[in-house]
């Protein structure tokens, strides 16, 4: 593999995001159109039927093919790729779009992530009864399995998780399109009803409806469109064994992130992620996932995440702000859209358009998803020249 093959060849020239939330009165078509047309405007696309050459779309819930996207956007006669890889679906759609442009086959490509879990009539994920092994199969149950061992090994506890929830609730209040805009206290988080120990309600991401879009093009063409294109430094996806069946899993780190981060940093030429990165969007499906991921991404040493939570390292105004728009916790988590929503936020941050949550002089930004039980991770690193 040539880690330099991709770097800076592709640029993001436009992003869009619909209002996230329990969008009872909006269809998938509504949200797709809202997100994509905002991206058109942002990228200066006036004639999408002629300017968009291919579409890479990710969604977890619908069992429909590409026709839904084509008909929603009235884009016909062009390839639409539909992807599904659990929570890293959006990042993978972006990765495939980047490959398509970098190959030289297409000049301009639309990347789209969307999902509408709130049409299913239930709160939270669906409960499987089509098997007997591996039940309960709830994401909270999967991601909480690290807790007991991690807590005992490093002396962390629910209080550390609560601080992450408080931070992300605060950040969400500063993002206009977030689902939840409500500050909470440590006490709120600790006293909430338990979903899957140690996760209380506020330790869990807000499942929501939503769609997000990005338009990418060859970097040599990007400057004709706008003067501040955002460069793609790295796109990486890695898989790891199912943690419930991996005989070497230690409950202290999620392997998919370790693998993907190593590859992404090599592609981007990053050797000291904590020092070099300016802003990070990481997959806070649960507060503990955020805590572990600080370490798994190499932003701090294994076991030290709680100290950084205590000192505010990852808060807005801290040394390395994480989940500046509230993350999955409060911006919302329409599974297939989340990776692209993170691209949207990082592009705004890099362009200096993030309003009250703006990280000063941000020039290098990372986004991260981890999905499945989890077995898969996607990372995208964007930067300014």
Interface residues toward other proteins, by CB under 8 A: 124, 127, 129-136, 138, 140-141, 144-149, 152, 193-198, 241, 244-247, 249, 251
d(CA 74, CA 333): 26
Closer CB to other proteins, 65 or 134, in the complex: 134
d(CA 187, CA 192): 8
Q: Is 285 a catalytic residue?
A: no
User: How near is the Cβ of 128 to other proteins at its closest, in Å?
Assistant: 8
Q: Contact at 8 Å (CB) between 66 and 80?
A: yes
Among 349, 344, 343, residue whose Cα is nearest residue 363:
349
Q: What is the DSSP string of 110-145?
A: EEEEEE-GGGSSSSSS----S-STT-S--HHHHHHT
Closer CB to other proteins, 147 or 300, in the complex: 147
Closer CB to other proteins, 149 or 275, in the complex: 149
Closer CB to other proteins, 99 or 251, in the complex: 251
Length of the chain in residues, anyone?
A: 385
User: How near is the Cβ of 141 to other proteins at its closest, in Å?
Assistant: 5
In sequence order, what are the residues at sequence separation of 6 or more whose Cβ sits closer than 8 angstroms to the Cβ of residue 66?
A: 55, 57, 80, 81, 82
d(CA 50, CA 123): 41
Q: Is 87 a catalytic residue?
A: yes
User: How near is the Cβ of 279 to other proteins at its closest, in Å?
Assistant: 32
d(CA 323, CA 314): 8
Closer CB to other proteins, 125 or 318, in the complex: 125
User: How near is the Cβ of 375 to other proteins at its closest, in Å?
Assistant: 12
Q: Which of 87, 146, 204, 377 is catalytic?
A: 87
d(CA 72, CA 382): 29
User: How near is the Cβ of 244 to other proteins at its closest, in Å?
Assistant: 4
Q: Which of 283, 333, 368, 377 is catalytic?
A: 333
**Active-site residue set:** 87, 333
């Amino acid at each position: 593999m040539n880690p330099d093959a991709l770097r800076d060849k592709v640029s993001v020239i436009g992003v869009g995001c619909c209002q996230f939330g329990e969008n009872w009165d909006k269809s998938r078509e509504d949200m797709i159109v809202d997100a994509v047309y905002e991206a058109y405007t942002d990228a200066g696309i006036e004639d999408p039927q002629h300017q968009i050459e291919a579409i890479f779309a990710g969604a977890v819930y619908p069992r429909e093919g590409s026709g839904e996207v084509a008909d929603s956007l009235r884009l016909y006669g062009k390839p639409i790729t539909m992807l599904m890889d659990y929570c890293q679906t959006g990042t993978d759609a972006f990765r495939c779009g980047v490959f398509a442009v970098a190959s030289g086959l297409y000049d301009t490509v639309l990347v789209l992530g969307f999902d509408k879990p709130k049409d299913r009539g239930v709160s939270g994920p669906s409960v499987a009864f089509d098997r007997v092994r591996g039940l309960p199969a709830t994401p909270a149950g999967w991601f909480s399995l690290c807790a007991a061992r991690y807590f005992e090994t490093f002396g962390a506890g629910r209080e550390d998780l609560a601080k992450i929830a408080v931070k992300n609730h605060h950040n969400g209040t500063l993002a206009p399109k977030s689902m939840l805009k409500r500050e909470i206290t440590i006490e709120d988080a600790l006293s909430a009803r338990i979903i899957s120990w140690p996760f209380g309600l506020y330790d869990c991401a807000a499942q929501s409806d939503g769609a997000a879009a990005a338009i990418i093009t060859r970097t040599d063409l990007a400057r004709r469109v706008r003067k501040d294109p955002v460069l793609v430094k790295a796109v990486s996806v890695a898989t790891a064994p199912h943690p419930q069946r991996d005989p070497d899993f230690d409950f202290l780190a999620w392997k998919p992130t370790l693998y993907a981060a190593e590859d992404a940093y090599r592609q981007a030429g990053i050797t000291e992620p904590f020092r070099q990165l300016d802003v990070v969007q990481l997959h806070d499906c649960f507060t503990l996932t955020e805590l572990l991921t600080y370490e798994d991404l190499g932003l701090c040493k294994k076991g030290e995440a709680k100290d950084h939570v205590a000192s505010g390292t990852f808060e807005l105004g801290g040394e390395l702000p994480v989940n500046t728009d509230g993350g999955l916790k409060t911006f919302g988590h329409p599974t297939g859209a989340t990776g692209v929503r993170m691209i949207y936020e990082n592009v705004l941050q890099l362009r200096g358009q993030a309003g009250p949550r703006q990280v000063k002089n941000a020039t290098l930004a990372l986004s991260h998803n981890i999905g499945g039980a989890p077995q898969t991770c996607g990372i995208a690193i964007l930067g300014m020249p």
